[in-house]
């Protein structure tokens, strides 16, 4: 069994701001053991989309992915952002390799069924979706995978999948291959906040405390999905 794997997810202003991204990647280079980086798209996809006449549409913080938006995020997430990150990591002496879920068939997804909301070309994944054999081959060959939020359905269609969820299920799936797997979410806030204005961080949260705080509405809405996926892992 391998010793240690760290899976880090970045998004939001960490990606939007070049200085923040550069500092994060320097810190990323200091992790011990093998690493996987999962990234979202920040505001970059929305900004480029608006220039192309594609207005972003969200429901409960999740992007509605119609055909035009799917083409947009494929270009921006899988191309522009992913390759910029990979190129920067190479300067740190880490042999990074950029991936979508379709590359090496590392992550398949099912198109999210239409219920009250039609999310379009959105993909749902599970632990069983992860091709751990392929990922372990890359990791053991000395590569550090950099995964964007694009998966595939096995029938030729790309799907847009939440980055927090991808990081969570990668951690759970690869835990069978490592003595220690650490899952880290990196974003613009200093941590899970008790109060958004004072930036008072809750230093430690177990599941029971989280459920209570969530029910009381004391955790910022933008943090809920991150916490849910962390606990799922």
DSSP-derived letter for residue 43 is T
Q: Where are the domains of the chain?
A: 2-188, 192-233
The answer to whether the beta carbons of residues 177 and 136 sit under 8 Å apart is: yes
Residue 1 confidence (pLDDT): 63
> Which residues partner with 160 through β-bridges?
122, 150
- Euclidean distance between CA atoms 218 and 63, whole angstroms: 25
Tens digit of each residue's pLDDT (9 = 90 or more) over 205-215: 899 999 998 89
Q: Is 125's pLDDT higher than 80?
A: yes
Highest mean pLDDT out of 54-68, 116-130, 184-198, 213-227: 116-130
Note every long-range contact of 127-130, with CB atoms under 8 Å and residues 24 or more positions apart, other chains counting: 127/169, 127/172, 127/173, 129/169, 130/106, 130/169, 130/170, 130/173, 130/174
d(CA 117, CA 113): 9
Burial category of 5 from C-beta neighbours within 10 Å (exposed 0-12, middle 13-18, buried 19 and up):
buried
- 56: which 2 tokens? 């972003």
Q: pLDDT, tens digit, for every residue of 54-98?
A: 988 887 667 899 999 999 999 999 999 999 999 999 999 999 999
Distance of alpha carbon 123 from alpha carbon 161, whole angstroms? 5
Would you identify the CATH topology of the domain 2-188?
Answer: Carbamate kinase (3.40.1160)
Full-model pTM: 0.93
């Amino acid at each position: 069994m391998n010793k240690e794997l760290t899976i880090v997810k970045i998004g939001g202003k960490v990606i939007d701001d070049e200085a923040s991204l550069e500092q994060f990647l320097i810190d990323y280079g200091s992790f011990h053991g093998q690493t996987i980086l999962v990234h979202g798209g920040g505001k970059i996809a929305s900004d480029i989309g608006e220039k192309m006449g594609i207005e972003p549409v969200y429901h409960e913080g999740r992007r509605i992915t119609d055909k035009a938006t799917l083409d947009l995020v494929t270009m921006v997430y899988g191309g522009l952002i992913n390759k910029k990150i990979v190129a920067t990591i190479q300067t740190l002496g880490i042999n990074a390799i950029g991936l979508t879920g379709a590359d090496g068939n590392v992550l398949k997804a099912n198109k999210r069924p239409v219920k009250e909301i039609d999310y379009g070309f959105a993909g749902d994944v599970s632990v069983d979706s992860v091709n751990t054999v392929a990922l372990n081959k890359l990791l053991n060959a000395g590569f550090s995978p950099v995964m964007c939020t694009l998966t595939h359905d096995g029938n030729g269609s790309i799907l847009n999948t939440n980055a927090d969820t991808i990081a969570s299920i990668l951690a759970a799936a690869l835990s069978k291959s490592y003595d220690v797997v650490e899952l880290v979410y990196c974003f613009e806030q200093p941590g899970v906040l008790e109060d958004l204005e004072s930036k008072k961080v809750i230093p430690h949260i177990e599941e029971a405390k989280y459920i209570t705080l969530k029910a009381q509405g004391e955790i910022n809405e933008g943090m809920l999905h991150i916490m849910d996926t962390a606990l799922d892992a």
